[in-house]
Amino acid sequence: MATVILVRHGRTTANATGMLAGRTPGVGLDQVGRDQAARTGKRLAAVPLVGLVSSPLERCQQTSALILQHQAGSPATTEDADITECDYGQWQGRSLSELALEKLWPVVQAQPSAVIFPGGESMATMQARSVAAIRRHDARIEAEFGPDAVWVAVSHGDIIKSILADALGMHLDLFQRISVGPASASIVRYGPHRPNVFATNTDSGDLSWLRSSALGADAPVGGGSGHAAPQAVRS
């Protein structure tokens, strides 16, 4: 039962201007995004990561580099196209304000399982490939490093939302209820009975409790005793 920390890339130039970047090459972090990713890296410094898997897109690669700067060790790193951004097809590169006028927009909001982006992929396909990739890497990392291993996946907003929806047992049509902000960290532990979602969309707070091996497979009746007191984080 390894633990995965799902990190969205920091804010990009496209985010700042309201453009749907999709898989457009050359979209990188702006200064706000670099600062966000660096803060996330400092938070994660309290956790000895055994691995990092990233989307191949530039903004995720930049975020990953800023996370790795704060790790005392050298986590194994890899890219995986299965956690890359959704293929938005003809929507890619257009402004969100313009896309909000499209007939497909309300379907994206209310029934994403029925959405196939023109010239792109379906949101159901997006979820299937990303969930399968995260579970595959999690099993590999647990087999190599043991059940207390912690690793990071750096990906995109809709990808992480779809992974969290699966972990929460939610239908894809409900995934728009989940928020995943730039450089936020969400924490999932896949167990023998069910996934446990420990956090979603966090951008602050102590993570040193992830060093502990006390995370069990069973849900504590009554809620449990919570985490240990915060430990000092390396700067």
- At 37-85, the pLDDT tens digits run 999 999 999 999 999 999 999 999 999 999 999 999 899 999 999 999 9
Cβ–Cβ under 8 Å, residues 6 and 198: no
| Alpha carbon distance 134, 3 (integer Å) | 11
pLDDT of res. 1: 79
What average pLDDT does this structure show over 132-161?
A: 97
Q: Is pLDDT of 193 > 90?
A: no
Q: What is the pTM of this model?
A: 0.93
Which region among 151-155, 173-177, 221-225 has the lowest average model confidence (pLDDT)? Answer: 221-225
pLDDT of res. 192: 85
pLDDT of res. 100: 97
Cβ–Cβ under 8 Å, residues 14 and 27: yes
| Alpha carbon distance 2, 37 (integer Å) | 23
89 three-state secondary structure? helix
- At 89-98, the pLDDT tens digits run 999 999 999 9
